[in-house]
């Protein structure tokens, strides 16, 4: 009920702001398992000086989608690692690129985490392999109903006070409707630019190192990115699902940037060619193997 939502808002606001801080940004997978090698070929590790700090997803041969809150500095010293399974040890399928552009969404609000989305342009295109392939992005008219299963991946810590994992982790969590998520976090806290996912009982979540990573759902045999790991209150807490930037809200913005960057497919799209047909020509969508 509305009264319940108001009471929940008061409770969450006290928890969030008792230390005069915003909800902690999500950087960790909790309650998941090690991902099989090559299962998520679009997953990237963003690193500075050899240290992982955020995730991201490959969306074509030269662009990566991630979270705006990951970046407050220049591309200097930043590397994007693709085809990576382990943060240490041998990675025979991995390649790396530097970054030439960091483009945060112009309406990103660090106070509310609204529009927490960012594009990175790689220094040169990557060659697609079984371990390095782009993910399809949710169309602007996409709907992800409450209860739909989604997967989140990353190298963040696996629990409070536990070390970061060596290998890429994965966790399955159901979508939580925005109305319920607003009740959980406080009315007005969750905008239309966000999508939530998690168990009401808690125990599974993304949290601190996973920021910027993909939340994907399988539709008609194809993996679709619905969200970008953004923020949450605590980690895997009951009735406090993870919050993600809703990818479908940013198709126009993404397309505009890629168009101006000179992507051939996007130039055709800008002239009126069908976007889906163009994507198929460029083979940028990977048919799921599960």
**116 carries an active-site annotation:** yes
> What b/e readout covers 161-199, taking b as 16+ CB neighbours within 10 angstroms?
eeebbebbbbbebbbbebebbbbbbbeebbbebbbbbbb
Tens-digit pLDDT profile for residues 29-77: 555 788 999 999 999 999 998 888 899 999 999 999 999 999 877 888 8
pLDDT bin (cut points 50, 70, 90) of residue 3 is: very low
Distance of CA 17 to the CA centre of its chain: 25
Task: Look up the CATH number of the domain holding residue 181.
Answer: 2.40.10.10
Do the Cβ atoms of 9 and 142 come closer than 8 Å? no
Place of tokens 């920021």: 211
- The pLDDT assigned to 229 comes to 93
Q: Containing domain of residue 55, as a range?
A: 41-122
CA angle 143, 175, 42 (to 5 degrees): 80
Tens-digit pLDDT profile for residues 126-140: 999 999 999 999 999
> 39, 105, 116, 133: which one is catalytic?
116
- The pLDDT assigned to 208 comes to 56
- Point out the least confidently predicted range of 79-83, 86-90, 245-249, 251-255: 86-90
Asked whether residue 148 falls in the same domain as residue 243, the answer is yes
* pTM above threshold 0.85: no
> What average pLDDT does the chain have?
78
Do the Cβ atoms of 24 and 58 come closer than 8 Å? no
**114 carries an active-site annotation:** no
**68/103 Cα distance (integer angstroms):** 8
Do the Cβ atoms of 81 and 54 come closer than 8 Å? no
User: Beta strands of the chain (E only): which ranges?
Assistant: 28-30, 33-34, 43-48, 51-60, 63-66, 78-82, 95-104, 118-122, 136-137, 149-154, 169-176, 194-197, 205-207, 214-219, 222-231, 242-246
pLDDT of residue 179 exceeding 60, the answer is yes
Asked whether residue 110 falls in the same domain as residue 162, the answer is no
Do the Cβ atoms of 47 and 94 come closer than 8 Å? no
CB-hemisphere CA count at 13 Å for 66?
Answer: 32
- The pLDDT assigned to 149 comes to 92
> 39, 52, 69, 150: which one is catalytic?
69
pLDDT of residue 279 exceeding 70, the answer is no
Asked whether residue 144 falls in the same domain as residue 222, the answer is yes
What are the φ/ψ torsions at residue 221 (nearest 5 degrees)? 75, 10
268 is a domain residue: no
56 is a domain residue: yes
- The pLDDT assigned to 271 comes to 45
Place of tokens 């070929």: 41
**189/260 Cα distance (integer angstroms):** 33
- The pLDDT assigned to 234 comes to 58
pLDDT bin (cut points 50, 70, 90) of residue 157 is: low
| Top-confidence residue, 53 or 158 | 53
- The pLDDT assigned to 239 comes to 63
> 211, 217, 230, 248: which one is catalytic?
211
153 is a domain residue: yes
Asked whether residue 140 falls in the same domain as residue 68, the answer is no
Do the Cβ atoms of 46 and 96 come closer than 8 Å? no
Asked whether residue 47 falls in the same domain as residue 87, the answer is yes
3 is a domain residue: no
Domain boundary among 73, 92, 122: 122
Q: Is 50 helix (H, G, I), strand (E, B) or coil?
A: coil
Tens-digit pLDDT profile for residues 84-127: 999 888 899 999 999 999 999 999 999 999 999 999 999 999 99
Asked whether residue 47 falls in the same domain as residue 144, the answer is no
Asked whether residue 142 falls in the same domain as residue 115, the answer is no
- Point out the least confidently predicted range of 13-17, 80-84, 163-167, 241-245: 13-17
pLDDT bin (cut points 50, 70, 90) of residue 248 is: very high
Asked whether residue 81 falls in the same domain as residue 114, the answer is yes
- Tally of structural domains, the chain: 2
**130 carries an active-site annotation:** no
């Amino acid at each position: 009920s509305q009264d319940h939502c108001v009471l929940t808002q008061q409770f969450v606001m006290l928890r969030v702001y008792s230390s005069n801080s915003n909800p902690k940004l999500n950087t960790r997978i909790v309650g998941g398992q090690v991902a099989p090698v090559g299962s998520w070929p679009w997953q990237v590790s963003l690193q500075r000086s050899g240290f992982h700090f955020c995730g991201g997803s490959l969306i074509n041969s030269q662009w990566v989608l991630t979270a705006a809150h990951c970046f407050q500095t220049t591309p200097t010293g930043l590397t994007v690692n693709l085809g990576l399974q382990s943060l240490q040890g041998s990675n025979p399928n991995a390649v790396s690129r530097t970054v030439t552009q960091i483009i945060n969404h112009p309406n990103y609000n660090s106070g509310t985490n609204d529009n927490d989305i960012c594009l990175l342009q790689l220094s040169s295109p990557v060659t697609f392999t079984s371990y390095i392939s782009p993910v399809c992005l949710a169309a602007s008219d996409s709907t992800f109903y409450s209860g739909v299963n989604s997967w989140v991946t990353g190298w963040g810590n696996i629990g409070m006070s536990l070390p970061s994992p060596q290998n890429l982790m994965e966790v399955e969590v159901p979508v939580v409707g925005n109305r319920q998520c607003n009740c959980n976090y406080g009315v007005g806290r969750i905008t239309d630019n966000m999508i939530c996912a998690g168990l009401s009982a808690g125990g599974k979540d993304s949290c601190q190192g996973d920021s910027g990573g993909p939340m994907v759902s399988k539709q008609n045999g194809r993996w679709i990115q619905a969200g970008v790991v953004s923020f949450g209150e605590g980690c895997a807490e009951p009735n406090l699902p993870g919050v993600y930037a809703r990818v479908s809200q940013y198709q126009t913005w993404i397309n505009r940037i890629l168009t101006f960057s000179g992507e051939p497919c996007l130039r055709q799209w800008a002239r009126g060619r069908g976007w889906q047909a163009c994507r198929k020509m460029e083979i940028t969508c990977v048919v799921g193997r599960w």
